[in-house]
């Protein structure tokens, strides 16, 4: 049995989240259907991340198992039958047959995009937020987040996790043209964590209360103390990193170089 991995990107507004939920359209369900059609047998994928409805991905991974070597241009075939909101970017073979696209990831990076003035071309691509934000407070808040490893306050309830510890490698805001972006990279993320971090930082940048209270929210280990009220469509899963040598890319002769 060989383990193969799809690297995909998708528009989160086209699906009811990434993880399979019965018969409603999700990224995982559409990948399962496409692979099952191509291989003429039931194929079940395992995803690297469980993004909520509306959240986009520029890079995510799904692994699956089949007997033997690939004999078809799977990237081309999948993209021919998948719905328009999702595309396969690359195909890999896992060097370890026990590779797990979710648990073997060592780093993940998300980006949250905000814009201030109405722009129809950013609809469902970023968060329209026409209110004043104190950039200095945002920068300070992002720095405070870097100091912590325990983020239970930023995990939604009923999260299926044994630990709320996350190692934050990057946490910062940057101006990108007319947009303001929050970039955060960590070894792992909790359910709803990035949106919680963004919404809570915005709360302080609006001058709602002193920034020192951010530490109190983190230390409380209580999700009712944090804020999660930002839309999913501003959020992008931007990068997932695996240990070197874990994946070997497969390129077919029919692919356009």
| C-alpha dihedral (165, 167, 173, 174), degrees to nearest 10 | -150
Domain 107-238 fold: Alpha-Beta Plaits (3.30.70)
| 89-93, 108-112, 155-159: least confident range | 155-159
Are 2-101+243-250 and 107-238 the same fold in CATH?
A: yes
pLDDT digits (tens, 9 = 90+) for 143-189: 999 999 999 999 987 666 789 999 999 999 999 999 999 999 999 99
Active site residues: 52
Contact 9, 60 (CB under 8 A): yes
User: How far apart, in whole angstroms, are the C-alpha atoms of residue 229 and residue 127?
Assistant: 11
Q: CA neighbours within 13 Å on the CB side: how many for 58?
A: 13
Q: How far is CA 191 from CA 35, 196, 215, in A?
A: 27, 9, 20
Give the CATH number of domain 2-101+243-250.
3.30.70.580
pLDDT digits (tens, 9 = 90+) for 30-85: 999 999 999 999 999 999 999 999 999 999 999 999 998 888 899 999 999 999 99
Q: Are strands 46-47 and 56-66 parallel, antiparallel or unpaired?
A: antiparallel
Q: CA neighbours within 13 Å on the CB side: how many for 185?
A: 11
Contacts of 142 (CB under 8 A, 6+ apart): 171, 172, 173, 182, 201
Domain boundaries, the chain: 2-101+243-250, 107-238
3-state secondary structure of 133: coil
């Amino acid at each position: 049995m060989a383990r193969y991995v799809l690297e995909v990107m998708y528009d989160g507004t086209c699906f009811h989240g990434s993880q399979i939920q019965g018969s409603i359209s999700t990224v995982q369900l559409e990948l399962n259907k496409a692979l099952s059609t191509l291989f003429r047998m039931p194929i079940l994928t395992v995803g690297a991340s469980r993004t909520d409805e509306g959240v986009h991905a520029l890079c995510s991974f799904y692994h699956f198992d089949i007997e033997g070597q690939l004999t078809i241009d799977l990237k081309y075939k999948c993209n021919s039958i998948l719905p328009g909101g999702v595309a396969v970017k690359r195909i890999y073979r896992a060097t370890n047959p026990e590779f797990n696209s979710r648990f073997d990831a060592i780093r993940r990076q998300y980006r949250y995009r905000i814009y201030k003035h109405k722009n129809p071309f950013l609809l469902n691509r970023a968060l329209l937020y026409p209110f004043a934000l104190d950039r200095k407070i945002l920068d300070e808040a992002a720095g405070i987040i870097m100091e912590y490893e325990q983020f239970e306050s930023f995990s939604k309830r009923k999260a299926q996790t044994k630990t709320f510890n996350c190692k934050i490698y990057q946490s910062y805001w940057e101006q990108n043209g007319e947009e303001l972006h929050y970039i955060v990279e960590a070894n792992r993320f909790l359910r709803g964590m990035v949106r919680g971090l963004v919404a809570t930082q915005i709360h302080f940048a609006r001058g709602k209360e002193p920034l020192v209270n951010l530490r109190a929210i983190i230390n409380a280990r209580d999700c009712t103390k944090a804020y999660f009220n930002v839309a999913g469509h501003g959020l992008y899963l931007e990068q997932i990193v695996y240990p070197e040598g874990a994946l070997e890319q497969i390129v077919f002769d029919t692919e356009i170089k």
